[in-house]
Structure 1
């Protein structure tokens, strides 16, 4: 059941992130041209703004799915998020363009993006817990990181699905070619639903439900998080900023930077991103396994320091015009900087909360941070690049270094938790633990 839970979380997450990250790629290559009748640079900015809209909806999804995931189970919520995500992506593939229905086209795109964001708000924490709570203490980091590996796996799937169509004549690609990968979501949803339906509810959740029989009246999980874990919540949000910003900067902003500043062909940039994401799939659990041995804090802190040191070399490599340099730059961004922080991140967040509020605590912490950093990082970076004349990434690099500094402070001020025995209910923890 442990293996089945991990595979289910991994494959389900990969399919969910296929949908979500497919949007990120399309927001760079397609949507500015067919959904916004604006100057190309302004249209790109508007497209990235719709990317940010999906992140704004994530905290709302985290609150709702977190609440019911703590009340009636992780598995049931994950089935709902799966169907919502898949249907929204399928509908995107059918949307008319601006030239067909005018302003109704971008408005419909925004609505579907909100649905996507709402679903992903509950997906990440639920999938992480489904895997992590089936694992033993010595392998929690690895089990939790499986969901993290689903994100680059989904990105590889999304890129591979889009690449053959991106190589078409531009008119055919913008007319119908980009739609096919979105429509394939219907098939992927069926596969993911089958996988998740075969997994049992987690032992931690069942133990918590048993412990709660003696106390039928329970507080609302999210209120418990805010009341007893305020410092924990803030620490988790701040600690996640740099890691989550890097993943969307790589998938969207850096690809756009490589094409428009580095002079790389669209197909070359997507191909290099795909190769890097293949490496990233294995880098995330590798650093998570390391954190199971030496602790979460040293691995994540090393990732933040690497981000400060490498961000400017990354931009130099991407803008050099060399394919090998482009690959090296993207490889430093995700399989190194992001994976060092992101590999242990899921377990680091999950170990902060007891089982009866863990879904709510993890989901809200992660999604608030994701909205602040991942959601707006491409938009902020694009604006900063435009302020720098359109080709000078200095202000973008400073922006990311600031995120790394604040995340590093959060890592250093948190308690080490990799050997911690997780509580089943908040009744087992003393109020003093709220500062974890």
Structure 2
């Protein structure tokens, strides 16, 4: 990988003399990685709380299964806002710039997360509690909707075409680190008595996020947009309505990219959200044990992203993503079979392999998606595709899994459902046509090793 103190290579076609100076590789990494980590920490602590406490505190009148479904539905509401956030923030990201939108997404997500931490429960204000929880979740989801695309582009657009997967992986590290830190936060308070945990312990992970947000804002305020986008603004060739141009010129590419994005969250949310409820209430794992196993598996997720990105730049991002999607098709049935044994070591193996499966796809995804759309439509294109896939794979999966288990009393239908989702992604990514673009948005020749 490029030396931390070195500056990334300029994209093809840049002159260097008339462009603003690019930030260092270290600066790009820190801004992309830390900001994304904070936002996904904010997002995932909601998922953890939905699995552990929201059903009890905000939907107390329901039976346990109905309460869990209601809590997961509230979790899913955030996904409904994510495509809207992707469209709106992507629009302004393609018109005004990547940096300003990244600052906005951090403020929206972080502010909503802090307010959830001070939200009264149903016992205090009645029906107003779940209504406010849903509203804050919508705001949180709206901010996250524009986060990933901007974080990826602030990195990949400062990279040379042959380093885009590595630079794109900077933002991808934020997802497992968000899982890791959110689980650590809940693990730190899981030693409290059940009474204290329900009374105030669950709020602590939400409240401390405000400190992380301040740090992220300081880092991101120092960013600059990449030369290739800055030149579009100087030449006044930015799209006036990016989403309209996107649907007019790249509809099939957008659909395929969206479907390809389903597999990573389908596998991820099965483990980090649904398994927290299933593993404790059905299999019988202690909550701290399950949190620890998932925490350990995220270390393998991070390591796999790094390796996958390096391999993707060498052999093609599409090729690597296909391998990851194929493994995602295979793993759901063994995943549940191992967890169902109730043996912590076998469950750990199940989670580690699931983390590796996600890491393979994540390491290639940033570089792959950057080359699916031209610069003037790129923020909108990759944001919408990523968030639509996330909504199908992430929002729906815990709800469907809970309903399937309630109906059949078995994990096999759940595993089959996740397998089908991953198969859709595999077929879609195989069908995607990768057409890398130069800095002006035009097509450039594709070396054999980069086509995937």
Give TM class, smaller chain.
Answer: over 0.9
How many angstroms apart in 1 are the aligned matches of 2:48 and 2:95? 36
Q: Is the 8 A contact 1:56 1:371 kept in 2?
A: yes
Offset, 1:364: 1.1
- Select which of 53, 73, 79 maps to 2:97: 73
1:270 corresponds to 2:291 = yes
- Rounded to whole Å, the distance in 2 between the matches of 1:248 and 1:347 is 23
Deviations 1:361-397 (A, max 9, x none): 11111111211221111111111111222xx111111
Count residues with an aligned counterpart. Answer: 421
CA distance in 2: counterparts of 1:138 and 1:373, whole angstroms: 30
User: Could you list the per-position Cα deviations for residues 295-338 of structure 1 after superposition, in whole angstroms to 9, with x for gaps in the alignment?
Assistant: 1222222222212222111111111111111111111112x221
* 2:398 is aligned with 1:382: no
Distance 2:242 2:298 in 1: 36
Unmatched segments (≥5 aa) in structure 1: 431-435
CA contact (8 A) 2:371 2:434 kept: no
SS in 2 for 1:201: coil
The whole-number CA distance in structure 1 between the counterparts of 2:325 and 2:250 is: 24
Deviations 1:92-151 (A, max 9, x none): 010111111111111110000000000000111011111111112221001111111101
Match of 1:324 in 2: 345
Q: Is the 8 A contact 1:250 1:330 kept in 2?
A: yes
State which of 370, 384, 397 in structure 2 corresponds to 1:350. 370
2:421 paired residue number? 403
Distance 1:383 1:44, change over 3 A: same
Q: Paired residue for 2:197?
A: 173
| Alignment equivalent of 2:206, drawn from 149, 161, 182 | 182
1:115 aligned residue: 139
CA distance in 1, matches of 2:342, 2:422: 27
1:15 maps to 2:38: yes
Q: Is the 8 A contact 2:374 2:437 kept in 1?
A: no
Match of 1:414 among 422, 432, 435: 432
Q: Which residue among 80, 87, 95 is the counterpart of 1:63?
A: 87
2:438 and 2:264 map into 1 onto residues whose CA distance is 24
Would you say the 8 A contact 1:351–1:422 is kept in 2? Answer: no
Q: Map residues 280-295 of structure 1 onto 2, 5 A cutoff.
A: 280-295=301-316
Q: C-alpha root-mean-square deviation of aligned residues, in Å?
A: 1.6
Tell me how far apart the structure 1 counterparts of residues 424 and 433 of structure 2 sit (CA, whole Å).
16
Distance 1:17 1:311 in 2: 24
C-alpha distance in 2, partners of 1:3/1:416? 28
Equivalence map 1:186-197=2 (5 Å): 186-197=210-221
Question: Post-superposition shift, 1:162?
Answer: 1.4
TM-score, length of structure 1 as denominator length: 0.93
Match of 1:308 among 322, 329, 336: 329
Where does structure 2 lack aligned partners over 5 or more consecutive residues? 1-22, 445-451
Query: Which residue in 2 is equivalent to 1:229?
Result: 250
**CA offset at residue 84 of structure 1?**
0.9
Contact 1:296 1:416 in 2 (8 A): no
CA contact (8 A) 1:13 1:147 kept: yes
Query: Are 2:46 and 1:30 aligned?
Result: no
- Is contact 1:6–1:130 with CA below 8 Å preserved after alignment? no
Q: Please name the residue that 1:3 is paired with.
A: 26
Moved more, 85-94 or 398-407: 398-407
Which residue of structure 2 lines up, in the alignment, with residue 82 of structure 1? 106
> What is the CA deviation profile of residues 29-88 of structure 1, one whole-angstrom value per residue up to 9, with x for unaligned ones?
111111102101110011000111000001111111101111111000111111111110
Aligned mates of 1:326, 1:378 — CA distance in 2: 19
Structure 1 distance, partners of 2:148, 2:281, is 33
More helix by percentage: 1
Matching residue of 2:186: 162
- Post-superposition CA distance 1:256-309 (Å, at most 9, x none): 222122211000000111111122122112112111111122222222221222
SS of 1:30 mapped into structure 2? helix
- Aligned equivalents of 1:394, 1:422: Cα separation in 2: 47
Contact 2:437 2:443 in 1 (8 A): no
Asked if 2 retains the 8 angstrom alpha-carbon contact of 1:149 and 1:282, the reply is: no
8 Å CA contact 2:95, 2:240 repeated in 1:
no
- Runs of 4 or more consecutive aligned structure 1 residues displaced over 4 Å after TM superposition: none
8 Å CA contact retained: 2:242, 2:376: yes
